[in-house]
Structures are given as structure tokens and as C-alpha cells.
Structure 1
Amino acid sequence: MVKNTSKQLPIPPHFNAVQVEEVWRVPYQDRAKEAQEWTKKHQIRPATEDETRVCLLLIDVQNTFCLPDFELFVAGQSGRGAIDDNVRLCKFIYHNLGRISAIVATLDTHTAMQIFHPIFWINEAGEHPPAMSSISGEDVQQGVWRVNPAVVPSVGKSDYDTLQNYALHYVKTLNLSSKYPLTIWPYHGKLGGIGHALVSAVEEALFFYCIARSSQTRYEIKGNNPLTENYSVLKPEVLADAEGNPIANKNTNLINYLLEFDAVIIAGQAKSHCVAWTVADLLTEIEAKDLTLAQKVYLLEDCTSPVVVPGVVDYTEAADDAFRSFAAAGMHLIKSTDTIEAWL
């Protein structure tokens, strides 16, 4: 049992579920005062006093994925997927304020000139590939798409030929080892932009939690390497160039941090992509250490949705299959309405 506050807490009066699908400024000073008053009213103790250490890992709960007017809204089959997920997520955080010991929030973080964005590639006509298209090894070998010479100074390679050779290596590597070929994504999660920010209602919940529990949210940047995709927060898709020289590293510090907790609860977007691949990478690390550690991982099934584009693609079945495989390995599938005591 969690020592400090084992009971489920009420939802603070400031929370408005209707606002979850809107962008707004969190009134930090007001929320800080209210959180301190909430702490006294409900006798909430600092997270450092928890006997059972529980971490909540939130994957990419950002405007770019969670709001309909943004670039990669995760609609799910309902058409409101990420919106309704975040209503439940906020309620889960508030109800379990006294049980959660730490929160980690990942931020998908991009600039324009990255290998998965249109400007990185060009064809003989000087055109860039359209968003949501894919590029194969054969496309690069045959010159259908080649590296745009104008991006070379911006992506850390010394000359055009070196970057072109790396790009061919990259798409070939994805074809052999990744879940999908190279996808050209629309510009999204741009560092410095509104899309990069956490959903306002979730940011508010995290700030309120931080003050109430004296537990600083840990923010993890992913996806900012221009030479590789980074669906999982734990490992980029490609780690080395054709000569074996490293271009990126596993997030070993975060892996070790998560596995120190008694329980790790995971939610966020999208269930079929960044959530599934983060959990898969965590499971790989667990299998290398001790498979029984999988039993400390809990997946909030009603706080994550798959990518669904009606008439184009539906990853619901693939996402559900992935979650079933995680459960078969020992992880737990839970709902936000479940009580933490029931499964710890």
C-alpha cells in the first residue's frame, strides 16, 4: 500500500473536461496556491515518503497528436480518441494524486530538416515527397528520391556524398529491421511551436501534481536527431551509419530509472506507434535483465488510441495485437477507473 494517501481523491474544482480539447494558458500561480491548499485539506504527503514507488510514464501527450486542428491528431475509431483519452488521463492523475510517486512526460521534438520530413528529399523535378508517403531503399538506389543538397549544412554531415550514402543505408536498414519503411511525416511537433506543447489540461494536471506532491515532472526529449526516427523514447530506429559509427544511443538512463520503481503505468499517443514501440523496447530491456520485471508494468488501455485515418489506414488491430503480446509477457492491461490498490 502507498503510505501517504491510499484513498482515491476527488477531482479539484478547477478541472473542466470541456477544455481538454482547447489550447490555453495554465494560471500557474493560482494552481500552485490551490495545490498547496489541496495538500493540507487531504493530508497529502510528499512523494519521497511513498512506501510503494509508482511512476506514470506519459508518451507524447502533445497538441500535435491530441487536438483535431493539429497535424497528426490521433482520432482512433471514435474520431475523438486522444481527446477522450486525455479527459480520462487527467481524472486518473487527480484521483491518484497521492499514489503516484513520479511522472515522466516525453516530448516528440522536431525541426524542419530531418530525414522523415519532406524538405530532406528531392526528385529530378525539384519536388519534395508528399506527407504520408514512404521511401524505400529501391527509391533511393534508383534516384526516384535523393537527399536535398540544401539540407547538408543543417544535419551534421560533412558533404553531400556522405549524407546521400547515409540516407541509402538508413532506408535499407529500416526495410530490414523496422516496423515500417521510412515514412515522410507532415511537419509536426516543431520545437518552439504550439504543437510541441503538452495539452493544456494535462500540463495543468502535471503542474498541480508537482506542487501537491513536491515531485518534479521529468521531461524526456525524443525525435530531435535529424538522421533517425525515434518513435520509442527508449531507442531510435537506427543507431549507427554504414561503417558502424554511432549516430544515436539508447536512452539507458531512462530505462534504468523506470525499472527502479515498484510499478510503471504507461499512457499516451499513439497506441499503435510511439506507445507500442516504447513498451516493446522496455520489454526487450526487461527480457535481457529479468522477465519477472514485466509484472511491474501497467498499460492504461483507455488513455491511449491507435492511428486511424478513415478510408486510408486503421491500426486498431495492430495496436490491440501488440498490447495482447505485452500482456502475454506479464504486463498488465488496466483501466483508468481501476483502483491502484487493486493491482499493486
Structure 2
Amino acid sequence: MNTTYQQIIDVNHIASYKSVEHIPDILALGRSENINPASQDQERNLLLAIDVQNDFMESIGSLAVPGSKDDVQRLTKWMYHNIASLTQIICSLDCHSLMQVFHPVWWIDREGNHPSPFTIITYEDVVQGIWTAANGEHDRSMDYLHNLEIENKKNLCIWPYHCLEGTVGAKLESQFTKMLYFHAAARSTAPRLIYKGQNPYSEMYGIIKAEYDPEHYINFEVLNAVSQYDSIYIAGQASSHCVLASVNQILEYFADNREITSRITILEDCMSPITGFEESTKQQFEALRKQYGIHICKSTDINL
């Protein structure tokens, strides 16, 4: 390519609010490349980028993931080196309102205090009156907590306010955004942005469905896309939560189709776990590899 990586990405501004994307300049650089349109690809490759957003970036995010800054550098380098063969990019974005079941404002204790971030709230806690839904949504909240237990889901964790609609924390990380749109211009395609986590009554770690949802929403747009590509590469944040949940949900849906699940590759050096989940995350991905035939590789070992 005529454009260098450094012309697109300023590594000193990864995970920095000082960076400005200058998207028109990035699009001009992309259009200057003599690369065939993605629509002409004989072998179709998909990147599924999970929640590469400011609020998950170390040093600036309200729910920062240690290692995320270097992850973005490695991911954007991989995208750059594989521009000519990378057909499509789908990005998931966490997108929340203030009043959601996993935010502190939803709950109060007997003294009227909201829970601190990372507090775990169980069904029994609410039965005993330790916590009460502050907004009068008692029955719906109890139903949610009860079904988390019945379905053996994660306990409800109160997260710091993050990825609130309209805030800079909800935006895609700026340097990743630049590579995303360089790819779009160079390959004459457009990224697909998938918003998740907008149901106030549930957590939605995975891109496909919520932890518990009585309406049973399933994101068939993503599932259909996965089925249409020859290879699917997955990266993003955090590997222990939203990436792992997304991979689990995709694999569960295609559990009877090894031909599809074996197309999936986890870019293990382009994602990081939340502190304390390092070993369990590694073990769970390894179990998925054995069960479904997915691949777990470093980005530097994958050339499309």
C-alpha cells in the first residue's frame, strides 16, 4: 500500500481524548489505494470487533480494561496488514441509559444509599430487604434476579456508569475508528455498527442476546452475517465478559454446525480480561476450542 500505518494511526493517541479522527483525510487516504472492492472477494473474511469503546480503554475509561491500549495497537496493525483481504467489519457498541438494572441509581439500601460499583446483588438480598429497586420496578427486578439464578447466569453486578448514550465514553476508540474508516474507503464498503445493552431490565454482555429477557430477543443480523463468511475473526473488550459472552452465544446457536464454528478465530492478543478473571477466561476459551473447534491465535500469526 502507498499509505503507511503511521499515516493512519498515532499510537501515542490510542486511548486518548486528545485525538481527533479527521475522517475526511482518512477516507481520502483509503480511496487513494488501488485495492479491489470488498464485493469482489472470493474468500470472504469478517472481523467482529466487540466494544472497542473509550469507556473500556485504560487511562480514560470508567470501566477500563488493563491491556486494552496495547490491544488496540495490535488490532489496528492486523487490520492494516490485512486490508486487501478483510472483507467486512462489524462492531458492537455497548449503549446504556442512566437508569438500567446494573447501574447504581437503580437500587437503594435501607438507608437510601445506592450501591457502590462492583456490588453483587442477588435475589435473596432483595427478598431480605437489603436492596430495593429505587424506581418502583420491584416485581420486574425480582423476576430478573430470580431468572438469573434459575438459568445459572452471572449474578447481577453493579457496574460503574459506562457507555452512556451521547457521551464520549460510548464512542469507538479514536485510532481504531480511523482504521475502521480507512478500511471502508479502501475496500469500497461500510462498517456495520451493532448497538447492544439498551434494555433497561437486563444485562447484555454478548452481542446476540441479553442475560435474561422474557421477550427472547436474538440478534439474527449478526448470526446471519457469521454464517455468510469463510472466516470470522473476533477481538475486543473485555475478553472475560463481552467477548466471551458473544463467542459463547454464537457457538451455542451454531452448536450443530461444526463447519461454521470451525471458521471462528479468536485474536487472543487483541483483547484483555477484567482483573481477576485472567485464568478463568483462558480456561473457558480453551474449553470452547475443544468443544467447537474454534481457533485461538495471536494476530501476528494470521495473514489473510
Q: Could you tell me the TM-score, scaled by structure 1's length?
A: 0.84
The correspondence for 1:319, drawn from 281, 285, 291, is 281
1:12-61 Cα deviation digits (max 9, x unpaired): 53322222131222111211111112x13xxx110000000111000000
Q: Secondary structure at the match of 2:99?
A: coil
Aligned to 1:175: 149
- Residue identity in the other structure for 1:30: D
8 Å contact kept, 1:103–1:218: yes
Matched, 1:101 2:87: yes
Deviation at 1:97, TM superposition (A): 0.5
CA distance in 1, matches of 2:201, 2:172: 25
8 Å contact kept, 1:135–1:183: yes
8 Å contact kept, 1:292–1:330: no
Note the 1:255-274 alignment, pairs <5 A: 255-274=223-242
Deviation at 1:91, TM superposition (A): 0.4
Larger displacement relative to structure 2 (95-104 or 16-25)? 16-25
Note the 1:21-60 alignment, pairs <5 A: 21-23=15-17, 24-37=19-32, 39-40=33-34, 44-60=35-51
- Residue identity in the other structure for 1:205: M
Matched, 1:15 2:9: yes
- Residue identity in the other structure for 1:213: R
CA distance in 1, matches of 2:81, 2:140: 49
8 Å contact kept, 2:153–2:211: no
8 Å contact kept, 2:15–2:60: no
CA distance in 1, matches of 2:4, 2:150: 50
Deviation at 1:68, TM superposition (A): 1.6
CA distance in 1, matches of 2:83, 2:285: 26
Q: Secondary structure at the match of 2:281?
A: helix
CA distance in 2, matches of 1:14, 1:220: 24
Structure 1's consecutive aligned runs of 4 or more residues displaced over 6 angstroms after TM superposition are none
CA distance in 2, matches of 1:275, 1:178: 19
8 Å contact kept, 2:205–2:245: yes
Matched, 1:68 2:59: yes
CA distance in 2, matches of 1:221, 1:33: 27
Aligned length: 301
- Residue identity in the other structure for 1:50: D
8 Å contact kept, 1:121–1:146: yes
Q: Secondary structure at the match of 2:184?
A: helix
Aligned to 1:201: 175
Deviation at 1:124, TM superposition (A): 2.2
Larger radius of gyration: 1
Aligned to 1:283: 251
Q: Could you tell me the TM-score, scaled by structure 2's length?
A: 0.95
Considering only aligned residues, what root-mean-square deviation do their CA atoms show, in Å?
1.5
8 Å contact kept, 1:302–1:335: yes
- Residue identity in the other structure for 1:293: I
- Residue identity in the other structure for 2:284: A
Note the 1:226-245 alignment, pairs <5 A: 226-240=200-214
8 Å contact kept, 1:178–1:237: no
Q: Secondary structure at the match of 2:47?
A: strand
Larger displacement relative to structure 2 (104-113 or 171-180)? 171-180
Q: Secondary structure at the match of 1:302?
A: strand
Gaps of 5+ in 2: none
Gaps of 5+ in 1: 1-6, 76-80, 150-159, 241-245, 309-313
Aligned to 2:270: 303
| Percent identity of equivalent pairs | 34
1:208-250 Cα deviation digits (max 9, x unpaired): 111110110000000111010000011100121xxxxx2x501
Deviation at 1:338, TM superposition (A): 1.8
Q: Secondary structure at the match of 1:73?
A: coil
Matched, 1:126 2:121: no
Deviation at 1:336, TM superposition (A): 1.1
The correspondence for 1:293, drawn from 241, 260, 282, is 260
Deviation at 1:144, TM superposition (A): 1.1
Q: Secondary structure at the match of 1:87?
A: helix
CA distance in 2, matches of 1:316, 1:148: 34
Aligned to 1:249: 217
The correspondence for 1:87, drawn from 64, 67, 73, is 73
Deviation at 1:10, TM superposition (A): 5.6
Aligned to 1:335: 298
